[in-house]
Amino acid sequence: MDVRLTINGEAREAEVPGGTLLVELLRDTLEMTGTHIGCDTSQCGACNVMLDGVVVKSCTVLAAQANGASVTTIEGLANGEALHPMQAAFKAEHGLQCGFCTPGMVMAGLEIVRRHGTNVSAEQVAHDLEGNLCRCTGYINIIKAIVAGARAMAADTGGRRLMRDFDYQKPASVAEAVAAFASANASDGGAAYLSGGHTLLPAMKSRLRMPDTIIDLAGLPGLKGATRDGDRLWIGALTTHAAVAEDSTVKAAVPAIAKAALGIGDQQVRNRGTLGGVLANNDPAADYPAVALGLDAVIETDRGAHAADDYFQGMFATALDEGEIITRIGFRVPRRAAYAKFRHPASRYAIVGVMVAQFDDGVRVAVTGAGPGVFRWPEAEAALAGNFSVDAVNGLVPDASDLNTDIHAGPEYRAHLCGVMLAKAVTEAA
Ligand code: FES
Ligand code: FES
């Protein structure tokens, strides 16, 4: 396909296979090798670039998705021989050892300045570097460099393809998307909808998913933003986690949703990932399934609506039919609610996450990460219905025999974490 975009201020055009990642377009096609690839799992941030002004992982964005966009890479920062203040700060503060992670760290530094200003604190920088890994573990000087670079900006005036090929389509309406899915799904590899892409694209890189057609939903109108209607807070399916976290309507109606959104992945993930995408995928360790189930949500689609109690059907399984598109999600507004999770330190997925919500007619408790899929916890709900306090659930844990075991945690530990996260959520909500 023909991709046209602006890179570092210059119009560029390239003919690439449909499955080309943005990082592959940069490195392999345009020979701009300053942007690095450090992992296959979208976790290291070595590939960070600015896409239309916000930092993203270019290994997890299709070149096709960047069509028409403006991209800034590490090569676009210096002014001739004069380094950008953030680059100069890395040099002055010894913010690099082998230098492999440095382009991604510099771009992350620019995102931190964009979000927090040039007076950003070292603590904030340390927190916001959650999406970047340094294999030389030079974090102390990297943080110093970003703080120094931020201050300096205030004074400044001045070869491998990871994806197989597929057909890429970007419909302009829900009806067009459904029609495209139906016709493409008749082919051998089938079709897949693309929303934020942070689950689908890594799965495709590792060949766990091999659709012949990708249908990008980004062009569908009217599926972003939040509105309050009576006892429901409706959020569009294409609303990114970053947008949910910052939305004033969400914060006013159910602050626990905004807080949960802010805990998903890292800033790069939150800039791309969408609410609808997470619910359609239904990863057993994702946060939003617990939020939706705990808040008695309605998942509205192009062909009807699903109650959350019926929608989640186990690991990666939902009530969605082939080609059905989530359009918006209606969360029931509770009296009070909170979500607490014990997160995996690299992926930020929930080892265990617990959502607690109190309504006029009872309490709902939903657990993610612990079992093969999100589930309600009836014993906790019953205990809290009569007495919404930590005392009411003291020592309560679910049956460990139904829980997951993996390299991160066994079932007994997960059961223990359920009790701890439940108490934490109740304390926060109370
Ligand atoms: Fe590691 Fe992109 S290469 S996050
Ligand atoms: Fe070597 Fe960070 S300086 S990976």
Q: Where are the beta strands (DSSP E) in 302-427?
A: 304-307, 326-332, 336-343, 350-359, 362-368, 375-376
Using the structure block, give the residue that is written with the tokens 């953030």.
86
Cα(423)–Cα(340) distance, integer angstroms: 9
Ligand 2 contacts CB of residue 100 (under 6 A): yes
Q: Given ligand 1 and candidates 26, 27, 36, 44, which is best to mutate, with the most ligand atoms within 8 Å of its CB?
A: 44
Pick the CATH number of 226-429 from 3.40.50.10470, 3.90.550.10, 3.30.465.10, 3.40.50.300: 3.30.465.10
Tokens of 404: 């997951």
Cα(153)–Cα(113) distance, integer angstroms: 9
Q: Can you give the pLDDT at residue 163?
A: 78
CATH fold of 167-219 reads 3.30.43
Q: Can you give the pLDDT at residue 137?
A: 87
Q: Can you give the pLDDT at residue 214?
A: 94
What are phi and psi for residue 78, nearest 5 degrees? -70, 155
Q: Can you give the pLDDT at residue 169?
A: 94
CATH fold of 1-165 reads Ubiquitin-like (UB roll) (3.10.20)
Distance 320 CA to ligand 2 centre (A): 43
| Residue 278 contacts residue 239 (beta carbons within 8 Å) | no
Ligand 1 pocket, residues with Cβ under 6 angstroms: 37-39, 42-47, 57, 59
Residues of the chain with confidence (pLDDT) below 50: 159-160
Amino acid, single-letter form, for residue 143: I
Q: Could you tell me the sign of the dihedral formed by the alpha carbons of 89, 264, 48, 217, in that order?
A: negative
Q: Can you give the pLDDT at residue 204?
A: 83
Distance 45 CA to ligand 2 centre (A): 11
Beta-carbon contacts of 135 under 8 Å, excluding residues fewer than 6 positions away, are 38, 98, 100, 101
Ligand 2 contacts CB of residue 97 (under 6 A): yes
Ligand number nearest to the C-alpha of 103: 2
pLDDT tens digits, one per residue of 244-266: 999 999 999 999 999 999 999 99
Domain ranges of the chain: 1-165, 167-219, 226-429
Q: Which atom of ligand 2 is nearest to the CA of 96?
A: 3
| Residue 28 contacts residue 159 (beta carbons within 8 Å) | yes
Q: Can you give the pLDDT at residue 43?
A: 93
The SS3 call for residue 162 is: coil
Ligand number nearest to the C-alpha of 202: 1
Q: Which atom of ligand 2 is nearest to the CA of 98?
A: 1
Q: Which atom of ligand 1 is nearest to the CA of 60?
A: 2
Ligand number nearest to the C-alpha of 44: 1
Q: Can you give the pLDDT at residue 159?
A: 39
Cα(332)–Cα(61) distance, integer angstroms: 33
| Residue 5 contacts residue 72 (beta carbons within 8 Å) | no
Q: Given ligand 1 and candidates 33, 39, 201, which is best to mutate, with the most ligand atoms within 8 Å of its CB?
A: 39
Distance 35 CA to ligand 1 centre (A): 10
Beta-carbon contacts of 330 under 8 Å, excluding residues fewer than 6 positions away, are 229, 232, 233, 234, 297, 298, 300
Distance 45 CA to ligand 1 centre (A): 5
Q: Which atom of ligand 1 is nearest to the CA of 43?
A: 4
Q: Can you give the pLDDT at residue 160?
A: 42
Distance 85 CA to ligand 2 centre (A): 19
